[in-house]
Amino acid sequence: MVAVVGVEHWDILEIHEDPGVSSPLIDTLDPLDDTVIALGFARQLPQSIWWCISWEGGSGAWASSIYLSRLADPLQSYDSDRWVGLNAENLEDFLSEIESEYERDPNSEGGPMRIVISELDYSNNIVSFDVIGFLDDSVAGARLTFTTATQSDGSVTVTDVQYRAMCRRGGGPGSDLCL
């Protein structure tokens, strides 16, 4: 199983009949969909790699691999002290904190990190960030999910953080580590 990663909370991932954005559109996936199955076929185009996938709506179509990753189970030993207690005016304002933690010079090896808000749920006080671009041979990035509480002044404070690694090769469900 793989998950959709790096897609903004207001956007979708397109699934195409064949590899490439010019191929007919078959379906779409939501930013947090984690029910996708990579079927083991990949095709490299000049600017991207596409995976043949199966999803709730069908099988045998293609999606860009840049937006798909194995997600490890939540890391049980994750030290959330950096985030718990953090306060902001609204859920979106936590993005600047994530950017300052994971920012990398765009001219450095590996280029800039790609950070997107993949979930923005005001009714449940949850915001998730996909941080993609780790310079690691097994971990491509991380999905950080903040659970927050609304304060009397309307601001929100982080009460819990879940960290899930985006695995390049192996790991994923059943493991909190990437291989």
Residue 171 has pLDDT above 80, yes or no: no
Per residue in 30-49, pLDDT (tens digit) is: 999 999 999 999 999 999 99
Distance CA 6, CA 64 (A): 11
What's the rounded Cα separation, in Å, for the pair 67 and 69?
7
Does 2.30.30.40 match the CATH number of domain 3-69? yes
pLDDT of 173 over the 70 cut:
no
Q: How many other C-beta atoms lie within 10 A of the C-beta of residue 66? A: 17
Same fold, 3-69 and 80-167: no
Q: Which residues contact 65 (CB under 8 A, 6 or more apart)?
A: 42, 48, 49, 50, 51
Q: Which fold has domain 80-167?
A: Nuclear Transport Factor 2; Chain: A, (3.10.450)
- pLDDT of 1 strictly over 70: yes
Instruction: List residues bridging with 64 in a β-sheet.
Output: 50
Q: Is residue 114 within 8 Å of 133, Cβ to Cβ?
A: yes
- Identity (one letter) of the amino acid at 89? E
Judge whether 69 and 31 are in contact, CB under 8 Å: no
pTM: 0.91
Question: In the chain, where are the structural domains located?
Answer: 3-69, 80-167
- Strand bridging mode 139-150 / 156-167: antiparallel
